[in-house]
Structure 1
Amino acid sequence: MALDFQQIYTKIHEIGATARQRRERLESLRREARALFRQTAQDVDALRDKVESAKAVDPAIRCALPLKEALDTHHPTPGLPLNATLIAADGSQINPDRHGAVQYGLVNVGAIVLQPGSGQTPQTFTDSQLLYDDELYTAEGNPLTDGMVALKRDLDERRKLDELSAQYPAPVITFTDGPIELWGAKDGQDAAFSQSLETYKTVLSRLQTNGVTTAGYVDKPAADLVVRLLELMKLGDLSQVENLRAQHPFRGVSDRWLFGEKGNPLLEPGERSAVFQLQAKSEKDYRGLLALHFFYLNVGTHGHPWPVRVEIPRWVADDPEKLDALHAVLIEQCRVMGAKPYPYLLHRAHETAVVKHEEKNQVEQMLLMEIRRAGEETDDGSFKQSAKDLSGRGRFGQ
């Protein structure tokens, strides 16, 4: 038996025994957060001043920065844009595995193009890039980590949107799954990330120059950016707060709850929130028209709210026509999926991009056969991997 279920059951029993206390505490925090939200909703200047005060204490503080709209602003679904081309992209990867018989990586990007009302069926595209030999190392000679391969995947997704959007007349609306913000090493010391970031910003700039609307769709968002803003308001004089980043008086209260409380959602089905700027350490990397913004969007139904976060660059946030078109398209795309709202084109892009287990095995066999045919030395899989394969067991994250 791999697990000691008696130990686990004991812990689960303890969790159950304290459930009522946690529920009462969370309900109290939610009431307080909701009251503070209502109290400060219209005072945008005070909210902005508080964020500036927080930045003076901790420049890397991460929260929502209001623009001009009140916190409780909500916009109904606008009409669908005419003759818009919709493009979605998603990616998957195979990470280098030191236990494998051959060292390689793979990034696979799937994209789909839809021209509503044209009578044409959606077009799908796939870009598959095999990484081998020197491509498995950074310029400094360090092996590619799983995070670096994921970074390349994110960059290639946006590149594909740029490539395809240039082939269609305006208006063009593009989106990917996940944030627009490029994730990776943020200390400025990783040359590979810095180079990828510069390339990524160049791609974003081309999209902006071409008038393309682009967005990142974050389903079931975990970041509590608006709640963090409320926490800053509650903390009072921030210059007197020790270790500001660790102070979370509303811990457990989420943006998802705030905008989508069952029975009392701030956003009705199809509505979006005000647009906020993202205050974060990465602000210095995304300047001007590339500055990162976001809004919340309720893609659910009456009785079943489902707020998602939509990230956009400033050139979209500043353009009411682009903003309305994106809003309407995302609601329409989610309705296609019925009771489990998610943009249909992103779902299709994921299906196109995903690498199945049998495809992975086929790539490995093809690569091994070619290497051996060319007379190059090959390796064996590790005995650890052989033992795992023999037992039919595996472990997550290894």
Structure 2
Amino acid sequence: MLDLNQLARQMQGISQHLVEESVALRQRLNRAEELMKSAEKVQTELVDRQTEWHDRFIFTAATPIEPLGTHKAIGPAPSAHTVIATDGSQISPSHHEIAYCYLLNIGRIILHYGQSKLPLLDSQPEVFYRPEDLYVSRQWGVRTEEWMGYCRTAAEVTVLGELAEAIAPTTAAPIIAMTDGSLLHWFLEPLPKEARDRILKPILESWKQMRKLQVPMVGYISASRSGEATNFLRLHTCPYIAPDCLTHCSDLPNKAPCQVLDPLRDAGIWGRLLEPGERSPLWRSSAKIQDFYGKDYEIHFCYVNVGAEIARVEVPAWVAVDESILAMTLSLVIAQVQKGYGYPVALAEAHNQAVVRGGDRARFFALLEREMVKAGLRNVGTSYKEARKRGSIA
């Protein structure tokens, strides 16, 4: 239980700190705007330096594909179109429950506009209880809970591909497939090859299927904390002819000369530069996990002023290089945000279908307990610790 009296005494310090941070943020934004304008004049030279020295950087910087000063207005969405989306939730395994297992629940959404077709709003649950599901990741030093999250990511994309395959042949209207979060699955990078392939292969297969169907894949990131684009400006502030971080600045991890904008994020800069309904220039991410994606699926992104916020929108390379497909995709993203009052309605509904609430969890374990008793198992129940926590008299 929170002691509100103690908290109230701390609030004044927090508010004063936020005021100071706001002043510093305005100064960094002013500096970033100046750097963006001057960097555009030498953009080609900066990209060449990045290409030559990128393996010596101590930071990750995206590469601009268009001039830094690009501000493009996004056109209206076609009246007839379809949006598909997925999101996932789970019940994590616990030794204190009546059985050690976990559940993945994938919310599925198909929304048709201007076509007089019924939508799809449901979820697809799956229970994992076999030893090969629960303990396979231990051989790679990955905890079951972490592995469950990786499997959930793969399941979301796999189901999205299945929806696209089911819908694409039935309509001539444009379709986009949306997922909540980044298409850069960086968490797979340090995994051993066998473990990484188990997760990444089904993801890439679904991406390839959606490309074959000409269904653009979109990763929508709200409140993005990325600094990939801002980090490109560090090349412009580097005082050395050769931007070799490992030689010049490896002993200055927090005081390098190029860190004049830290901790400013990309969304902060583009919030200054973009009008509602406009997008930033396209960028190509330099995340190393893309080495396993293939050239056509390298992730490109831009920042979009959707009105309520500056969102980061990611697409694979095959979408980014086709101007007409990209324009259509972004127009449908904006339309989704408008329909959802600040957040894509398809993603919000996918979350609502996927989320496992307290009552759902209780019913799941009640159903499991009933089946265990029917099977003849005895002494079925939670641990004393879990039972005591649920029945606290405090």
2:37 alignment partner in structure 1: 38
1:297 alignment partner in structure 2: 304
Bigger mean CA offset, 182-191 vs 104-113: 182-191
Distance (Å, rounded) in 2 between the aligned partners of 1:390 and 1:156? 36
2:320 alignment partner in structure 1: 317
Distance (Å, rounded) in 2 between the aligned partners of 1:270 and 1:121? 29
2:62 alignment partner in structure 1: 64
Distance 1:313 1:26, change over 3 A: same
Distance (Å, rounded) in 1 between the aligned partners of 2:309 and 2:325? 23
Provide the secondary structure at the position in 1 that maps to 2:98: coil
1:231 alignment partner in structure 2: 234
* 1:306-364 CA distance string (max 9 Å, x none): 100011100110111210111111111111123xx111111111111112211111111
Within 5 Å, give how 1:234-273 maps onto structure 2.
Answer: 234-237=237-240, 238-239=243-244, 240-243=247-250, 246=254, 247=256, 248-260=259-271, 265-273=272-280
Provide the secondary structure at the position in 2 that maps to 1:35: helix
Tell me the CA shift for residue 259 of structure 1: 0.9
Task: Indicate if the aligned counterparts of 2:373 and 2:380 stay in contact, CA closer than 8 A.
Answer: no
Task: Indicate if the aligned counterparts of 1:70 and 1:274 stay in contact, CA closer than 8 A.
Answer: yes
1:95 alignment partner in structure 2: 92
Q: Output the amino acid matched with 1:317.
A: A
Tell me the CA shift for residue 366 of structure 1: 1.0
Tell me the CA shift for residue 207 of structure 1: 1.6
* 1:195-245 CA distance string (max 9 Å, x none): 211221222122222222111100110112211111232123321432386
Within 5 Å, give how 1:368-379 maps onto structure 2.
Answer: 368-376=369-377
Distance (Å, rounded) in 1 between the aligned partners of 2:378 and 2:154? 33
Distance (Å, rounded) in 2 between the aligned partners of 1:107 and 1:150? 9
Bigger mean CA offset, 240-249 vs 31-40: 240-249
Provide the secondary structure at the position in 1 that maps to 2:78: coil
1:74 to 71, 76, 83: 71
Distance (Å, rounded) in 2 between the aligned partners of 1:18 and 1:116? 47
Number of residue equivalences:
380
Provide the secondary structure at the position in 2 that maps to 1:381: coil
Bigger mean CA offset, 309-318 vs 17-26: 17-26
Provide the secondary structure at the position in 1 that maps to 2:249: coil
Distance 1:9 1:313, change over 3 A: same
Tell me the CA shift for residue 85 of structure 1: 2.5
Q: Output the amino acid matched with 1:346.
A: L
Tell me the CA shift for residue 80 of structure 1: 2.0
Task: Indicate if the aligned counterparts of 1:334 and 1:343 stay in contact, CA closer than 8 A.
Answer: yes
Distance (Å, rounded) in 1 between the aligned partners of 2:393 and 2:330? 47
RMSD: 2.6
2:50 alignment partner in structure 1: 51
Distance 1:15 1:190, change over 3 A: farther
Task: Indicate if the aligned counterparts of 2:64 and 2:284 stay in contact, CA closer than 8 A.
Answer: yes
1:396 alignment partner in structure 2: none
1:152 alignment partner in structure 2: 151
Q: Output the amino acid matched with 2:329.
A: L
1:357 alignment partner in structure 2: 358
Distance 1:259 1:123, change over 3 A: same
* 1:47-106 CA distance string (max 9 Å, x none): 312432452204x84222111x11121111223236432211111111111222221111
* 1:238-273 CA distance string (max 9 Å, x none): 21432386543311322121111xxxx311111111
2:214 alignment partner in structure 1: 211
Distance 1:42 1:324, change over 3 A: farther
Distance (Å, rounded) in 2 between the aligned partners of 1:288 and 1:127? 32
2:26 alignment partner in structure 1: 27
User: TM-score w.r.t. structure 1 length?
Assistant: 0.87
Q: Output the amino acid matched with 1:193.
A: R
Distance (Å, rounded) in 2 between the aligned partners of 1:289 and 1:143? 30
Normalized per residue, the structure richer in helix is 2
Q: Output the amino acid matched with 1:103.
A: Y
Distance (Å, rounded) in 2 between the aligned partners of 1:334 and 1:139? 38
Distance (Å, rounded) in 2 between the aligned partners of 1:172 and 1:82? 12
Bigger mean CA offset, 360-369 vs 115-124: 115-124
Distance 1:182 1:143, change over 3 A: closer
Provide the secondary structure at the position in 2 that maps to 1:249: coil
Distance (Å, rounded) in 2 between the aligned partners of 1:72 and 1:377? 69
Task: Indicate if the aligned counterparts of 2:59 and 2:231 stay in contact, CA closer than 8 A.
Answer: no
Distance 1:138 1:249, change over 3 A: farther
Is the aligned partner of 1:201 residue 2:221? Answer: no
Provide the secondary structure at the position in 1 that maps to 2:313: strand
Task: Indicate if the aligned counterparts of 1:73 and 1:274 stay in contact, CA closer than 8 A.
Answer: yes
2:284 alignment partner in structure 1: 277
Provide the secondary structure at the position in 1 that maps to 2:113: coil
Which structure 1 residue ranges, 5 or more long, are not aligned?
394-398
1:173 alignment partner in structure 2: 176
Tell me the CA shift for residue 37 of structure 1: 0.8
Distance 1:184 1:252, change over 3 A: closer
